[in-house]
Structure 1
Amino acid sequence: MTTPTAQPTTITELALTMFTVSDQDAARTFYTEVLGFEVRGDDRYGENGEMRWLEVAPPGSRARLALNPPMGGAPGGGGIGLECTDLRAEHARLVARGDVDVDADLMQTPGAPLLFMLRDPDGNHIVVTEATASAPS
C-alpha cells in the first residue's frame, strides 16, 4: 500500500536509525563484538569535541545504526529489525554466549516469519528474522 503525497518525494531509502544508549563505548562493544557489526563512523564534534557521533552497521548493509547518549530522556526503549541468513544458527550462537539478553525460544505466530528477540544492554529491542528471497537488498 502506498500513501499519496501532495508532491512526489525524493526520499529513496531508510539510511539511519538511532538508539539512545547510556554508554557509547559499551554499546560499541556490544554491537561489534556480540552482533558482529562494523563501525561506520566514530567522530567527535562540538566546539571542544565534547559530543560524539557513533554509527555501526552489519557488514554490507547500507542502513546504519547511530548510538547516541540520552538527550533529555532515559536510554533504551527503541526497536529495530534485523535479518540473518540462518536464524536457528544465529539464535544458538547468541544463547550459547550466556551474556546476551536473548529469548530462550524461537517464536512464530500465524502469518508471521519465524523470529527471536534480544535486547541490548540499554533495553533497546532487536527482532531477528531470516532473510527471504523477496526481501529487498
Structure 2
Amino acid sequence: MNHFTGIRTIGVPVGDQDRALAFYTGTLGFEVLMDAPLPEIGGRWIVVAPPGAPTNLALTPATSDEPVDTGIRLVTADASAAHKHLQSEGVDTDELIVWPDVPPMFTFRDPDGNTLYAVQE
C-alpha cells in the first residue's frame, strides 16, 4: 500500500541563511517560494526552487558546522554551460564528467560546503 505520491521539500542545512539565499537565488537562479520567521527552528523557513520545479529546497539553520553531501541532483539542459557559469561565479566545482553512455555531470558545493550535483537531462 503506497501512501506517498511524491517528494515536495528537501532540507539543506546552512550556517548563514541570508548568504545561502543569495547563492541559491542569485547564483543558481532559484525562486523564493517562502521566507518566514520560524523561531522554533532557530531561524527562518526559507523555501527555494528552480522556476516551475515540483520539488523545492528548504534552507534550514544548520545544527552542525559540518557540511553534508545532500545527494541532490539538479537537472540542467546543458551541463557544460552550467559548469562554466558556476566556475565564473567562483563556485567550488569539480571537473565536468563526460563518459560514454552517461549524462554529463559535475559536483559543486554551496557556500556552506554542502555538496550538490548537476546532471544534464
Bin for the TM-score computed over the shorter chain: 0.7 to 0.9
**1:57 paired to 2:49:** yes
Unaligned runs of 5+ in 2: none
TM-score of the pair, normalised by structure 1:
0.78
Question: How has the CA–CA distance of structure 1 residues 9 and 100 changed in structure 2, closer, same or farther, with 3 Å as cutoff?
Answer: same
Runs of 4+ residues deviating >6 angstroms: none
Which residue of structure 2 aligns with residue 69 of structure 1? 61
> What is the RMSD computed on CA atoms of the aligned residues?
1.9
Instruction: Tell me which structure has the larger Cα radius of gyration.
Output: 1
Shift in Å at residue 126 of structure 1?
Answer: 1.0
1:1-137 aligned within 5 A = 8-46=1-39, 51-71=43-63, 73-79=64-70, 80-97=72-89, 99-103=90-94, 105-109=95-99, 112-131=102-121
C-alpha distance after superposition, 1:32-56 (max 9, x if no partner): 0000001010011348xx6310111
Shift in Å at residue 9 of structure 1?
Answer: 1.6
TM-score of the pair, normalised by structure 2:
0.88
Unaligned runs of 5+ in 1: 1-7, 132-137
The structure with more strand, counted as a fraction of residues: 2
Aligned-partner residue type, residue 56 of structure 2: R
Shift in Å at residue 106 of structure 1?
Answer: 1.0
